[in-house]
């Protein structure tokens, strides 16, 4: 028997990158060794002291029962501790923190909680595709904010028609940015918060890569602005900062009413995270942050190696300021998809075509700094190095 999906399911955007995965799998099945620069999955293990904390806490029978529905207070206090120590931001753990099942789930939830059918959501283009998913599920309407190189991949709020700004209900921003690697400035944060307050727009700042900044720069939290909590919330995840992608620990911080509604929504879906995972997250946030500094140093070394290599072969691109993604213009006459296909076919190197991140991603490919810089050139046609092909491009 066939069952028909709901209208909300039918509105979901197609998964562009599923076709890329299928292409990669076909190359692997042919026996080729693939260098995957297209993924966003951290390649290093979770630091051992966090793993040990999980082992220890998993043996505690307290965590074998349902945890508090809205998360353990110890974790919320640890989040407040991290924001105060690392970003100088004061957070009330009881009223300004909501525990999430990873940042991705939280980002999708926001649209379901706050958008009605037809409501306008301002979305960065290029941007993280799951913003689209949540808006589609809610039946909302996306208005894209182009991120252009000439504006340092920051949206130009003055280009948004006044009528659109007046009607908009929510906005997604993401800095350090996926996919462009751009970092927000304090001046831009001021502009964004003011624009949202003036137009009564709920600001959702996706701060997933907030720990990863280069050249001595710490990417600023939007909550560093004194009125940011009036405008909305910031969503953070432990996935990138501590290589805990599979642990699914995230949180929303900021506006008390938004946090209350997130908690109410999740009460109908979840019984919070396994308590041992929450306590391991406490260890991550409150123990020495040397592991984070070491990780950022690794990514910076990879960035410098990568850009040094592409510059030597004449591929001009500005080194990223944050995140672990590089955003590279494709050579003429290729599109982002055709160039991605060419690299996979001839060099067995995977990159993500920019069109998968939105219309304004066309003309670029995204590469991840998630392969060790010492990885040898392998398998480019059995005896051919991928790097030798890239030099010829």
Among 121, 98, 103, 102, which Cα is nearest to 111's? 121
Higher-pLDDT residue of 123 and 374 is 123
Q: How many Å apart are CA 266 and CA 126, to the nearest integer? A: 29
What are 233-292's pLDDT values in tens digits? 999 999 999 999 999 999 999 999 999 999 999 999 988 999 999 999 999 999 999 999
In this predicted structure, what is the pLDDT of residue 381? 39
C-alpha angle 328/333/335, rounded to 5°?
A: 55
Grouping H, G, I as helix, E, B as strand and the rest as coil, residue 348 is coil
In the chain, the domains with their CATH numbers are 8-45+290-392 (3.90.1150.10), 48-286 (3.40.640.10)
Extract the tokens encoding 234. 């910031």
pLDDT of 376 > 90? The answer is no
Gap between the Cα atoms of 94 and 26, Å rounded: 50
Least confident window among 7-16, 152-161, 285-294, 334-343: 7-16
Q: Could you read off the pLDDT of 67-86 as tens digits, one per residue?
A: 999 999 999 999 999 999 99
Asked if 98 and 259 touch (Cβ cutoff 8 Å), the reply is yes
Q: What whole-number distance in Å separates Cα of residue 242 and Cα of residue 295?
A: 8
Instruction: Taking residues 175-203, report their average pLDDT.
Output: 98
pTM: 0.93
Residue closest to 241 by CA, chosen among 302, 295, 282:
295
- Decide if 309 contacts 388 (C-beta within 8 A): no
Average the pLDDT over each of 6-15, 100-109, 132-141, 158-167 and give the range with the smallest value. Answer: 6-15
Of 17-21, 45-49, 82-86, which gets the smallest average pLDDT?
17-21
DSSP labels, 38-102: S--S--SPPPHHHHHHHHHHHT-GGGGSPPPTT--HHHHHHHHHHHHHHH-----TTTSEEEESS
Q: How far apart are CA 80 and CA 93, in angstroms?
A: 6
317-369: pLDDT as tens digits: 999 999 999 999 999 999 999 999 999 999 999 999 999 999 999 999 999 99
The two three-digit tokens of residue 61, written as one number? 């029978």
Arithmetic mean of pLDDT over the chain: 93
- What pLDDT shows up at residue 97? 98
pLDDT surpasses 50 at 391: no
Report the percentage of the chain scoring pLDDT > 70: 95
Do the strands 202-206 and 232-237 form a parallel or antiparallel pair, or are they unpaired? Answer: parallel
Confidence (pLDDT) at 372: 86
- Calculate Rg over the CA atoms of the chain: 21
Phi, then psi, of 116 in degrees rounded to 5: -100, 160
pLDDT of residue 16: 72
Q: How far apart are CA 277 and CA 51, in angstroms?
A: 9
Q: What is the pLDDT of residue 389?
A: 40
């Amino acid at each position: 028997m066939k069952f028909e999906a709901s209208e909300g399911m039918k509105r979901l955007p197609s998964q562009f990158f599923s076709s890329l995965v299928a292409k990669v799998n076909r190359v692997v099945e042919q026996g080729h060794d693939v260098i995957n620069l297209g993924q966003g999955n951290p390649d290093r293990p979770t630091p051992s002291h966090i793993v040990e904390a999980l082992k220890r806490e998993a043996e505690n029978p307290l965590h074998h029962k349902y945890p508090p529905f809205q998360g353990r207070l110890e974790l919320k206090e640890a989040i407040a501790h991290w924001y105060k120590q690392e970003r100088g931001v004061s957070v009330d753990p009881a009223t300004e923190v909501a525990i999430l099942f990873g940042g991705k789930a939280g980002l999708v939830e926001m649209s379901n909680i706050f958008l009605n059918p037809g409501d306008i959501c301002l979305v960065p283009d290029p941007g993280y595709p799951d913003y689209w998913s949540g808006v589609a599920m809610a039946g909302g309407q996306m208005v894209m904010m182009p991120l252009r190189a000439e504006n340092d991949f920051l949206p130009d709020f003055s280009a948004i028609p006044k009528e659109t700004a007046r009607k908009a209900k929510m906005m997604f921003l993401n800095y350090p940015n996926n996919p462009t690697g751009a970092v927000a400035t304090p001046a831009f944060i001021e502009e964004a918060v003011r624009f949202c307050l003036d137009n009564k727009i709920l600001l959702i700042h996706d701060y997933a890569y907030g720990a990863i900044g280069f050249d001595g720069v710490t990417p600023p939290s939007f909550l560093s602005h004194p009125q940011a909590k009036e405008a909305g919330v910031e969503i953070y995840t432990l996935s990138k900062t501590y290589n805990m992608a599979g642990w699914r620990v995230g949180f929303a911080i900021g506006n008390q009413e938004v946090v209350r509604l997130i908690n109410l929504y999740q009460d109908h879906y979840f019984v919070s995270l396994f308590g041992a995972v929450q306590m391991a997250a406490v260890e991550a946030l409150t123990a020495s942050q040397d592991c984070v500094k070491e990780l950022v140093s690794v990514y910076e070394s990879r960035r410098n190696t990568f850009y040094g290599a592409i510059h030597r072969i004449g591929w001009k691109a500005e080194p990223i300021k944050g995140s672990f993604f590089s955003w590279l213009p494709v050579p003429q006459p290729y599109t982002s998809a055709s160039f991605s296909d060419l690299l996979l076919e001839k060099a067995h190197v995977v990159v993500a075509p920019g069109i998968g991140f939105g219309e304004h991603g066309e003309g670029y490919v995204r590469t991840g700094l998630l392969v060790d810089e010492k990885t040898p050139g392998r398998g480019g046609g059995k005896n051919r190095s991928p790097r030798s092909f890239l030099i010829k491009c």
